[in-house]
């Protein structure tokens, strides 16, 4: 299993399932977003507060490999690891594992940047520093 | 501009926007899904009816390039083109253009397959034939 | 059938259906919200623009009677009628009818107010005037 | 404060907030639904399993009083209490309290019934017995 810097536990809620009886594809992006925002908080980056200050962290690309479906009541966790890929871009490597069998449900790569108030990519120094710290954080080995 | 076999018109609804005031990333997957299902209907493939019969069309991979944000009230359309990429896999090339300036908002590639009732990839012949027809359909050149 | 001042057409999208194969209860609130915001636009009230100006139109109470389920592909419309119920409160009487049989799917009453930047109920005069116009609008008799 | 039979903890996720920066009205119905389904599980009633067996638990009416907005990162809990109101109808009294100040965010009453496969109200005896047990359960006094 890969290593992650952060790990967040979830449980599927029934309203997240669609007519196939499994979690709808779009909902996984919600899981990943929530895991990213919680991870960012541990680095001292508050997505909502940045938004209020006019700094918008945005996703520019998402690659999502759907490996196995999650369904009603499933417990799972999202593992997140951060990689800087350019001066203004960072990648979140994010995978979703079902509990308790650790079956890989989704493997994702989500690339983000920061936009200033005029919508131009611009990574504020304070954010860059905090993200750099996140990249260097000790890795969590999931049990 | 690329060519598409199908084109579906939408308008952003306010509840689809998040605290940044723009359409949330996950919602674009909803737009793409709806455009795919409507396109499939024109080929004679009804997603809901297949689901009731135990044939599950599923997404195995999505690649989404977010190019520009959509916001409250924006009109846009989704262009869809189908490509067979293996005996059991097909790709939907899907792009989202804002109206009236035709600004590219999102460029996506969504790969799907069919699962039988035991969850194994299995493309029923009738679906394969209908999809093959979709691949050969005359292309729509958007105005 | 009751009379409405506005009527907005929709079609159920597959992602709006849950594991029961019908539109999830919460989604009807999205339909009603979208119908209200479109109706308000015809009165000259733009929800998103008000939000940016710090005037928040909010719901204080919703009563929703679920009469019949909508499912994949169903066409329907939302009828909306406005009633002023106090100097700072207005009620939207909103019903959802399935097409083409005009079966009543949901009957709702949604009460709203406006909050100023400190979160206190405060109906700006311009909004009050526009809403009063909406109350007096000629009624639409659905065919 | 009122008494409840069940209490479920949540935290607001950023994607649940709309352009006003607060949790969208419809999302509260998701919170209430999840709290009901988790409560039902403690009674031995599994919503998803019933659905697969063709027994649909459905909402027939919801009354929702929005008291205060929840926003990014807020922790809150849903208190749920069950009341039988007719041979085929039961009411869930559900309130949402923000943590740690116990500010009431929403007060709701959600009335449900069971439908058989032909869509007729029909409360199976086993469900009726389990619900009756839930009505009589010892009440939780929130700290």
Is residue C141 one of the residues assigned to a domain? no
Mean pLDDT over all residues of chain D? Answer: 93
Is residue A143 one of the residues assigned to a domain? no
Both tokens assigned to D114: 């069971």
B74 catalytic? Reply is: no
Is residue B142 one of the residues assigned to a domain? no
Q: For C25, which of D19, D20, D59 is closest by C-beta distance? A: D59
Q: What is the DSSP letter of C77?
A: E
- C52 touches B at CB < 8 Å: yes
Helix (H) or strand (E) run with residue B115 in it? strand B104-115
Q: Stretch A24-44: mean pLDDT, rounded?
A: 97
Helix axes B25-42, B125-135, angle to 10 degrees: 100
State the best of B16, B17, B20, B60 to mutate against chain A, taking most chain A CBs within 10 Å: B20
Peptide bond into A90 cis (omega under 30): no
Task: Write down the ipTM of this complex.
Answer: 0.94
Instruction: State yes or no: pLDDT of C4 exceeds 60.
Output: yes
Q: Which of A2, A1, A5, A8 is nearest to A83 (CA)?
A: A5
CATH code: domain of residue B66: 3.10.129.10
pLDDT digits (tens, 9 = 90+) for C17-67: 999 999 999 999 999 999 999 999 999 999 999 999 989 999 999 999 999
Whether A61 sits inside 8 A of B59 (CB atoms) is no
Counted domains in chain A: 1
CA C118 to chain CA mean position, Å: 25
Is residue B94 one of the residues assigned to a domain? yes
Is residue C143 one of the residues assigned to a domain? no
- A19 touches B at CB < 8 Å: yes
Domain range holding D32? 6-136
Residue with tokens 């909502």: A48
The pLDDT confidence band at residue A117, using thresholds 50, 70 and 90, is confident
Is residue C32 one of the residues assigned to a domain? yes
Residues 6+ away with beta carbon under 8 Å from C115: C55, C56, C58, C121, C122
Q: For A20, which of B51, B60, B66 is closest by C-beta distance? A: B51
Is residue A141 one of the residues assigned to a domain? no
**Radius of gyration, alpha carbons of chain C:** 16
Is residue D143 one of the residues assigned to a domain? no
Q: Which residues of C are catalytic?
A: 18
Better-scored residue on pLDDT, C31 or D128: C31
Instruction: State yes or no: pLDDT of A139 exceeds 90.
Output: no
**How many residues are there in chain D?**
143
pLDDT digits (tens, 9 = 90+) for B49-92: 999 998 999 999 999 999 999 999 999 999 999 999 998 899 99
């Amino acid at each position: 299993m890969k290593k992650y810097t952060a790990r967040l536990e979830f449980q599927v809620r029934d309203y997240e399932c669609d007519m196939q009886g499994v979690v709808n594809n779009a909902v996984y992006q919600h899981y990943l977003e929530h895991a990213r925002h919680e991870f960012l908080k541990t680095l001292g980056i508050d997505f909502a507060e940045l938004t209020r200050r006019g700094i918008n962290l945005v996703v520019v690309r998402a690659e999502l490999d759907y490996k196995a479906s999650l369904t009603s009541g499933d417990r799972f966790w999202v593992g997140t690891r951060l990689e800087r890929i350019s001066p203004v871009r960072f990648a979140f490597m994010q995978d979703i594992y079902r509990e308790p069998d650790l079956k890989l449900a989704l493997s994702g790569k989500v690339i983000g940047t920061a936009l200033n108030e005029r919508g131009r990519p611009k990574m504020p120094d304070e954010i860059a520093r905090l993200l750099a710290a996140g990249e260097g954080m000790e890795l969590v080995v999931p049990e």
